[in-house]
A and B are shown apart, each in its own frame.
Chain A
Amino acid sequence: MPKIRVGELDVHVQRMPAAGPPVDGPRPLVVLVHGMLIDSLASYYFSLGPVFAERGMDVLMYDLRGHGRTTRPATGYRLEDFVTDLDGLLDALGEGRPAHVVGNSFGGAIAYGFAATRPDRVRSVMAIEAEPPVRSWAAKMAEGLTGEEGGLVVKEVRTWLLEDPERNARPFQLAGRILDATTLAEDIPRSRVLDDGLAAIRCPVFALYGADSELSGQADHVAATLACCRTAVLPDQGHSVLVERPKETADLLLGWLEDDIHTPLEAG
């Protein structure tokens, strides 16, 4: 299993090189950032990863700190830690190309944070069911992760574990283990927020939502706040856009990359 040393972490990385004949100049690079607790790079490995590679992009996937097969330190789970990890990972890989960064859910907050912190390294942001890490985001994270009985997210994980014995419980057991073994739940709400830094995001942004998710109500506000943003909303869809609508998600993201920001891709 490929591991890359980044600071104190051994980061589990999976790459899928671009398909197709050699081209003049570098291939576009896409980095896929997964979500919190029950997620890992597997969500992309079996969905967007192969599709993006097939269309001529070099695909980089990695497990976030504490998740999947990456080291799980006991502390250090503020958003800025995840942003620093991504920056360090690209350094460690000697990656000079500005990346198209896809982020799912919490991974989208990381993508936004990275775009604001290292605008030189980000060619575009594609945020799937995600919100920029602003004050209201931190408040929601606090509600979800802390408080009585460990907050809503924690409660949800426990309920999932109990309500359906047929369901594969292992991912949820792992989520419970992250919450038990780390300060993630306390750290995330204490992240540095970007309210005054959103203007630092100058790159093109594509924000995709599920219509039935509460986040979709933010689409217009996000579009108005960011310098260059297009939004799309999938009807009859909740928060799990990537898992439940992988083909439409791939089509929308690739269409935007090709048509709106003129990324050279292989024919689909």
Chain B
Amino acid sequence: MTAEPHTAVPPVPDERTVLDTVTGMLHEVLGEYGLDDAEITMSTRFHDDLELESIDLVTLSAALRDHYGDTVNFAAFIADRGLEEIISLTVGDLVSHVLAAFSTAPATEAV
């Protein structure tokens, strides 16, 4: 994916950078449960693998907004799919959502 920034900031992130950022945020959230060394990959599932509950996803969502600004609206992303669907979401789904939010093409989330 070639970055074509229309404005100076923020730079369009690549998959590796987004995964690293999200991993850092997840380790912070999991730290509350003493699980801050959990292995996190693109296929890690929020529910089945990390046992995150919804309030943890609020923390994650707020951290994403702090980091990326209003471009990344994870709350609306989940609201569109329904709370129940959180169960099947993977870290990769979130990374795709972040990348899609920064791409110029509308509505290209790879989910």
Q: Which residues of A contact B (CB under 8 A)?
A: 1-2, 14, 16, 40-43, 45-47, 49-51, 54, 63, 68-69, 168-171, 174, 243, 246
Contacts and interface: CB of A to CB of B under 8 A. Distances in A.
Interface of B: 47, 51, 53-55, 57-59, 61-62, 73, 75-76, 78-79, 82-84, 86-87
A45 B51 contact: no
Nearest to B85: A46
User: Main SS of chain B's interface residues?
Assistant: helix
Nearest to A69: B55
B83 A50 contact: no
28 contacts: A2-B62, A14-B58, A16-B75, A40-B54, A40-B55, A40-B58, A41-B55, A41-B58, A42-B53, A42-B57, A42-B58, A45-B54, A45-B57, A45-B61, A46-B57, A46-B78, A46-B86, A49-B75, A50-B73, A51-B79, A63-B55, A68-B55, A168-B47, A168-B53, A171-B53, A243-B84, A246-B79, A246-B83
B58 A47 contact: no
Contacts, number: 60
Nearest to A247: B82
B53 to A, nearest CB: 5
Contacts of B47: 168
Contacts of A170: 51, 53
What are the nearest 8 A-B pairs in CB distance?
Answer: A42-B54, A50-B76, A46-B78, A40-B55, A50-B79, A42-B55, A170-B53, A50-B75
A243 B62 CA distance: 21
Contacts of A41: 55, 58
A261 B62 CA distance: 32
Contacts of B76: 50, 54
A170 B29 CA distance: 14
Contact of B54 (A14, A43, A50): A43
Contacts of A42: 53-55, 57-58
Nearest to B59: A1
B30 to A, nearest CB: 12
A2 B65 CA distance: 13
Contacts of A171: 53-54
